């Protein structure tokens, strides 16, 4: 492969993954016009349209998606190998692209940015907060973070939080005017704040377990959201009961701004894991991130 062909394909992968000429140009250190010219040259050379372009969006065509899916793994391996050679003589360097849901960003990354930047100043970290179940390989990410039960078995998974536990919470004023639920079945008498997944559109069913009884409860209420912080705010405002990880409301519970119910029905569940494709050589920059985030003893 000639150097110009490699550069064209690298440019195409960046646009296909970023879904934006502007963001891809920033990633590659090019101007958007130069990048657009490169893509047009690649399409002309291949005799195929690779990208759908509108004034607001960019997306791969069927041919472009097929090309992306075939190229992305091998180009990632190449980048990892080059980074490994560079790191052999000094500190890890390069870019790590990470995909994770908002809750994981709050629990895992929020307190780690400073430590990571100080320990590995030559590594660039690009984080995409995304509550959908994104295919990290197809989307060009180096790694992702998900709850343990949602990590595919063909991935290498590294624990980055202890087990977590949910909490059902409500504001004191709300609970003063409603009977305390004793079992999950009592939730039918309450206004509950629902969470809807972006990717599937499904509404989250609240899971409970106690003494061998396992329940997934569909709750009702007047408010459905797709953001965990907004759910917390709505609970604080007295809209109804919320189901949320206890770590995210620990300060509110301690201060009495929220009150917990059904605690004996909320059992621990696997926490978050960083995961990446097992068939690839692990780039030193990704290894550095794993070393910073890994739970002690995992």
Architecture of domain 166-265: 3-Layer(aba) Sandwich (3.40)
Neighbouring-strand partners of residue 242: 169
DSSP E strands, the chain = 51-53, 58-60, 94-100, 123-129, 143-147, 155-159, 166-170, 193-195, 206-210, 213-217, 223-225, 242-245, 259-261, 272-277
Neighbouring-strand partners of residue 194: 224
pLDDT of residue 102: 86
pLDDT at 298 over 50: no
**What CATH number does the domain located at 1-60 have?**
1.10.10.10
CA distance 174 to 259: 10
pLDDT of residue 209: 95
User: Which of 102-111, 227-236, 274-283 has the highest mean predicted lDDT (pLDDT)?
Assistant: 227-236
CA distance 129 to 103: 9
Domain locations in the chain?
A: 1-60, 76-162+270-298, 166-265
pLDDT tens, residue by residue, 54-63 = 767 788 899 9
Report percent pLDDT > 70 for the chain. 91
pLDDT of residue 158: 93
pLDDT of residue 137: 81
pLDDT of residue 80: 61
SS3 annotation, 106-141:
HHHHCCCHHHHHHHCCCEEEEEEECCCCCCCCCCCC
The answer to whether domain 1-60 and domain 166-265 are alike in fold is no
pLDDT at 296 over 70: no
Which tokens sit at 180?
Answer: 């305390």
Residue located via tokens 């569909």: 218
User: Which of 116-120, 233-237, 285-289 has the highest mean predicted lDDT (pLDDT)?
Assistant: 233-237
What's the gap between Cα 240 and its chain centre? 27
Q: Over range 36-50, report the average pLDDT.
A: 91
pLDDT of residue 188: 95
Q: Which residue has the higher pLDDT, 214 or 84?
A: 214
DSSP category for residue 281: P
pLDDT tens, residue by residue, 93-120 = 889 999 998 888 988 888 889 889 999 9
CA distance 178 to 20: 49
pLDDT of residue 183: 96
Architecture of domain 76-162+270-298: 3-Layer(aba) Sandwich (3.40)
Q: Mean pLDDT over all residues of the chain? A: 87
Residue located via tokens 């690839």: 280
Q: How far apart are the first and last CA of the chain?
A: 42
CA distance 219 to 235: 15
CB atoms within 10 A of CB 45: 11
pLDDT tens, residue by residue, 139-172 = 888 999 998 888 888 889 999 998 999 999 999 9
pTM of the entire predicted model: 0.64
Residue located via tokens 């990717």: 199
pLDDT of residue 278: 75
Residue located via tokens 């504001």: 171
For residue 25, what pLDDT band results from cuts at 50, 70 and 90? Answer: confident
DSSP category for residue 105: I
pLDDT of residue 297: 45
pLDDT at 223 over 50: yes
Q: Over range 78-100, report the average pLDDT.
A: 71
Which tokens sit at 59?
Answer: 């997306």
Name every residue whose Cβ is closer than 8 Å to that of residue 270 and which is 6 or more positions away in sequence.
Answer: 147, 148, 149, 163, 164
């Amino acid at each position: 492969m000639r150097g110009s062909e490699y550069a064209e394909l690298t440019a195409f992968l960046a646009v296909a993954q970023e879904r934006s000429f502007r963001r891809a140009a920033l990633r590659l250190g090019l101007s958007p016009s130069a990048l657009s010219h490169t893509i047009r040259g690649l399409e002309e050379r291949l005799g195929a349209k690779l990208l759908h372009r509108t004034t607001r969006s960019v997306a791969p065509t069927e041919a472009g998606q097929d090309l992306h899916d075939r190229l992305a793994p091998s180009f990632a391996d190449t980048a990892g190998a080059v980074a490994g050679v560079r790191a052999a003589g000094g500190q890890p360097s390069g870019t790590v692209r990470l995909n994770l849901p908002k809750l994981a960003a709050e629990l895992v990354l929020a307190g780690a940015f400073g430590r990571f930047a100080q320990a590995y100043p030559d590594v660039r970290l690009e984080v995409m907060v995304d509550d959908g179940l994104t295919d990290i390989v197809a989307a060009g990410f180096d790694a992702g973070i998900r709850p343990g039960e949602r990590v595919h078995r063909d991935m290498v998974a590294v624990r980055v939080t202890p087990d977590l536990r949910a909490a059902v919470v409500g504001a004191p004023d709300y609970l003063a005017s409603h009977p305390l639920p004793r079992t999950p079945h009592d939730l039918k008498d309450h206004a509950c704040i629902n969470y809807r997944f972006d990717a599937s559109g499904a509404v989250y069913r609240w899971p409970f377990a106690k003494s061998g009884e396992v329940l997934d409860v569909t709750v009702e209420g007047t408010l459905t959201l797709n953001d965990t912080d907004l759910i917390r705010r709505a609970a604080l405002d007295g809209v109804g009961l919320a189901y949320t990880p206890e770590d995210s409301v620990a300060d509110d519970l301690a201060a009495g701004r929220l009150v917990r119910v059904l605690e004996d029905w909320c059992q621990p569940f696997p926490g978050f894991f960083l995961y990446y494709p097992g068939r690839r050589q692990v780039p030193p920059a990704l290894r550095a991130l794993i070393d910073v985030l890994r739970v002690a003893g995992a």
